[in-house]
Amino acid sequence: METISIGVPSVAAKGSRTRRSVRTRLPAAIALLPTALIVLVVFIGCMLWTVRLSFTSSTLLPKLDWVGFAQYSRLFANDRFLTSASNIVIFGTLFIAGCLIIGFLLAVFIDQNVRGEGLFRTIFLYPYSMSFVVTGVAWQWFLNPGLGLQKLVRDMGFESFTFDWLVNQRMAIYTIVIAGLWHGTGLTMAILLAGLRGIDADLWKAAKVDGIPTWRVYTSVVLPLLRPMVVTAVVLLTTGVVKLYDLVVAMTLGGPGIATEVPAKFVMDHLFERNNIALGTAAATVMLITVIAILAPWVYVRYVRPQGRHA
């Protein structure tokens, strides 16, 4: 009796496919090897080196001794660092929330097929093309009580008008927020506008037929559909918050006093001006841990949990 084998690949066929797969992937792997080495050595290696130095007594030059958590105790007892941490929380909360709200409203406005849509898009997005240094210098001039807005209004006859936030210790941090919003809102608008343009027009037609108010459609239908764009915008804006440095330096140099001090400036000053490498790297390590703590839930929801469901 003749035996017929159906759909059972031979060992030789499997080995041949494996060899072809290796030959196909090998050039790509070789091409990506330098990039992988750079990531491992430059990025991960430098982060580990920074963390290691935070446990030393390094001042002008690195040392490899071990002082435990002494630098972290000094760090959290430092008024300047505590002020910078408070400022970055204020800036980050208002900056991200403001960019999302204003950017969404601008995206909704442009999505109404207004005349001159291209011009409006350019105007709203233009500030993002400027560096934080240019933005800071421009707003420093505009908010300067002796040169900018306050002087302009007083020259128009309103002698009692006062807008001195830039030199007011309690309000100075909010001038940084204003400049940041002007710079980052356009990017958020562009991301959310792309999402709005991808929503099926039939949803709007169905909402009109059902008599659902426009605001309810946006809050209950549109915003949930824009969740991936909102997450993308939040991640990009959060990156800008963490590395906030040049905008502060250009506008206030951290002043008046230490009213607008931020962690990145604290780190840079201690590394390059105050010759205290250990304390600067301790602050940098705290920033790194904070970023990981913020991004870890998003990474879990975005990448880990979907794989677990499919498994």
Q: What pLDDT does residue 237 have?
A: 92
What phi and psi, each to the nearest 5 degrees, are found at residue 289?
A: -65, -40
Q: How many domains are contained in the chain?
A: 1
Asked if residue 194 belongs to a domain, the reply is yes
Spatial CB neighbours of 241, under 8 Å, sequence gap ≥ 6 = 88, 91, 92, 95, 96
What phi and psi, each to the nearest 5 degrees, are found at residue 58?
A: -60, 140
How far apart, in whole angstroms, are the C-alpha atoms of residue 78 and residue 248?
Answer: 20
Find the Cα–Cα–Cα–Cα dihedral 233, 238, 239, 245, rounded to 10°: 130
How far apart, in whole angstroms, are the C-alpha atoms of residue 172 and residue 91?
Answer: 11
- The tens place of each residue's pLDDT in the chain, 311 residues long, gives 444 444 445 556 556 666 666 677 777 778 888 888 887 888 888 889 999 999 999 988 888 899 999 999 999 999 999 999 999 999 999 999 999 999 999 999 998 888 888 888 889 989 998 988 999 999 999 999 888 899 999 999 888 899 999 999 999 999 999 999 999 999 999 999 999 988 888 888 888 888 888 888 888 888 999 988 998 899 889 888 988 999 999 999 998 999 999 999 999 998 888 889 999 999 999 998 888 887 777 777 777 666 655 55
Asked if residue 101 belongs to a domain, the reply is yes
Q: What pLDDT does residue 168 have?
A: 92
Asked if residue 215 belongs to a domain, the reply is yes
- C-beta atoms surrounding 123 within 10 Å: 12
Asked if residue 259 belongs to a domain, the reply is yes
pTM over 0.85: no
If we measure between CA atoms, which residue out of 185, 205, 224 comes closest to residue 105? 185
Q: What pLDDT does residue 1 have?
A: 45
If we measure between CA atoms, which residue out of 287, 272, 257, 209 comes closest to residue 83? 257
C-beta of residue 169 within 8 angstroms of C-beta of residue 254 = no
Cα angle for residues 76, 82, 245 (degrees, 5° grid) = 120
Handedness of CA 135, 229, 227, 189 (dihedral sign): positive
For the chain, give me the number of helices (H) and strands (E)?
Answer: 16, 0
Asked if residue 300 belongs to a domain, the reply is yes
Asked if residue 288 belongs to a domain, the reply is yes
Q: Which residue has the tokens 């440095």?
A: 245
Which residue range forms the structural domain that includes residue 206? Answer: 70-310
Q: What pLDDT does residue 263 have?
A: 93
Amino acid identity, position 128: Y
How far apart, in whole angstroms, are the C-alpha atoms of residue 78 and residue 59?
Answer: 17
Asked if residue 22 belongs to a domain, the reply is no
**CATH assignment of the domain containing 141:** 1.10.3720.10
Asked if residue 32 belongs to a domain, the reply is no
Cα angle for residues 186, 188, 194 (degrees, 5° grid) = 105
